Amino acid sequence: MTLAVLCPGQGAQHSRMLDLASSDASAREALDEAAAALGVDPRTWTESDAMFVNANAQPLICVAQNAQWRGLRDRLPCPLAIAGYSVGELSCYGLAGAVGIAALVRLARQRAAAMDTATAEHAGGLVAVRGLVRRTIEAICVEVGAHVAIAAADDAFVVGAGEPELAEFALRCERLGVQARALRVGVAAHTPLLAAAVATFRTELDASTLRAPAIPVVAGIDAAWVRTRERAIATLAPQVAQTIEWAQCLDALHERGCRVFLELGPGQALSRMVHERFDDAGARSVDEFRSLAAIAAWVERECG
């Protein structure tokens, strides 16, 4: 069966998220390269809540995923495609050979800075809600001034807004019998509140060493397969202020024949989404394993 690799975004960071990478020599080299590029060792961020600060979280997630991939890539079949959730989409380009880890973590830091600057004058955030269909969610958003940030499933969404609007959104959901759960993300990512970050991040992407990916990357904003540098920039930049159509991304992978899904760290949310959406697919996260060898063995068995 055919392999797809998934890269999650922020929210599930934990103190052991770099342990697997630290156990492998080639993965440790990736961690060291990232530390040199950042001027600080990202391993220190996992020792406190510093790992949830946006400026740290985005490069940390890219570091974790690309270090894990450095230790896994020679043990696995080549993926048909790679898809990333939020900042995980930027991380995909490291996995796909489109950018080195040093340049990648600098781009992640620049992305975070552009987003933080765009929301400096009005604090915002994200909430997750499950149990309502999209037309209902969108109607509430219009009424309270919120926005659909991520469409994760037919009845699962992430909504972003300023703090007062999120409070009103949560109240409206509660009246309909569902709960809006706050996420540990300090900005209203993937909403128009981040519009000012788009041009800034596009400039950074234009000036970077980003090149065409050797493995197709699924674009979050439209589920299209990205194969060129130009298309990568054209989808990565507006993604910070547009809805991510994650369910469509999974559907695109499944329609192309992917039946084995490996989720890099941190967390297991994307694997659960695959299980919920498809009856004929296998999905696991690296966080479920204690060694890179065990991960490779599982993928080998599943891919036949």
Where are the chain's structural domains?
2-118+192-303, 124-182
Query: Quick one: which of 59, 60, 68 has its CA closest to 264?
Result: 68
- Distance, CA of 40 to CA of 66 (rounded, Å): 17
Kindly state the helix (H) or strand (E) to which residue 163 belongs, with its residue range. helix 163-175
What are the two backbone dihedrals, phi and then psi, of residue 97, each rounded to the nearest 5 degrees? 75, 20
181-197 mean pLDDT: 93
CATH number of 2-118+192-303: 3.40.366.10
248-266 mean pLDDT: 98
* Residue 139 pLDDT grade (very low, low, confident, very high; cuts 50, 70, 90): very high
Q: How far is CA 137 from CA 6, 124, 243, 246, in A?
A: 26, 18, 13, 16
* Residue 122 pLDDT grade (very low, low, confident, very high; cuts 50, 70, 90): low
In CATH terms, is domain 124-182 a member of 3.30.70.250?
yes
Its sign, for the CA torsion 152, 156, 162, 165, is: positive
87-95 mean pLDDT: 98
Return the structure tokens found at 163.
């703090």
162-186 mean pLDDT: 95
Mean pLDDT of the chain: 96
- Residues whose CB is less than 8 angstroms from the CB of residue 265 and which lie 6 or more positions away in sequence, other chains included: 8, 12, 17, 20, 64, 65, 68, 285, 286, 287
- Give residue-wise pLDDT tens across range 272-294: 999 999 999 999 999 999 999 99
Name the pairing type of β-strands 225-226 and 217-218. antiparallel
138-146 mean pLDDT: 98
- Distance, CA of 225 to CA of 252 (rounded, Å): 9
Query: Which position has the token pair 């970077």?
Result: 208
Q: Is residue 71 a contact partner of residue 24, using CB atoms and an 8 Å limit?
A: yes
Q: How far is CA 212 from CA 66, 97, 229, in A?
A: 17, 8, 4
Compute CA 217 distance to the chain's CA centroid, rounded to the nearest angstrom: 12
